[in-house]
A = this chain, B = another copy of it.
Amino acid sequence: MSDPRSDPRQDILACACDLYLSRGLDGFSMRGLAKAVGVTAPALYRHYDGREAVLAAVMRQAYRAFTSYIYRALEAPTPLERLSRAGEGYLDFALEHPRWYAIMFSGPERLGMTKLPEDIEAMGCAIHQLWIDRVGECMRAGILADGEPLDTSLTMWAHAHGLVQLFHQGHLGKDVQAFRRMFQESGIRLMGGLGNEDFEAQNRGAPREPAARLQTTR
């Protein structure tokens, strides 16, 4: 209530995001944050329980940003375009906001938490579900090979995350445009399969129980 223009929690959060995005996780301290906000460190504790709580709020922002990138997919008219746009959103977010990407996928303990706050985990589930839905409708449309959408989406996720991770850590050069090409070409290989033509014949009929249900956290 009152003047939302000067909500202290909001000011702190905004500065916290700036600070994290510019200095990274290691360079993120309560003292530095206080300086950025323009108050002294103890004042922060009136609004947040401590460093961990602030970082959780920052992470929440990261999830919100990521969500906005992914949800663009729903505006496209066909299943294939929706899947494709979701993939573009994923890559755009990863490349435009590497620090946010990093905080989302770093384990909770790296942030000093034992587990993620529930609401954040819920956002992760929603994103994951949207992705699974896109895969599922592409299967029904005959664009993706039949299978369990969860399984297929895991393979796609791992492939994308692996590439992004390797690039961010400097193992694939520094040229963003070159990386985008690599990403796209690798995606085509993933769709077509790395095995030779008869690989399918050998393995398509393999033990195809609904696959020991893999409990994914997100």
**Is residue A5 within 8 Å, beta carbon to beta carbon, of the partner chain?**
no
Contact flags A164-188 to B (C-beta < 8 A → 1, else 0):
0110111111010010011001101
**Is residue A43 within 8 Å, beta carbon to beta carbon, of the partner chain?**
no
**Is residue A206 within 8 Å, beta carbon to beta carbon, of the partner chain?**
yes
**Interface residue stretch chosen among A29-37, A45-53, A55-63, A189-197:** A189-197
Task: Return chain B residues, CB-CB under 8 Å to A160.
Answer: 162
**Interface residue stretch chosen among A13-21, A64-72, A140-148:** A140-148
Question: What is the size, in residues, of chain A's interface with B at 8 Å between Cβ atoms?
Answer: 58
Q: How far is the CA of A157 from the CA of B182 in the complex (A)?
A: 13
- Tell me whether A191 and B194 are in contact (CB under 8 A): yes
Q: How far is the CA of A151 from the CA of B181 in the complex (A)?
A: 11
Can you list 10 pairs linking A and B with CB atoms under 8 Å apart? A108-B170, A145-B197, A151-B185, A158-B166, A161-B166, A165-B165, A178-B214, A178-B215, A181-B214, A182-B214
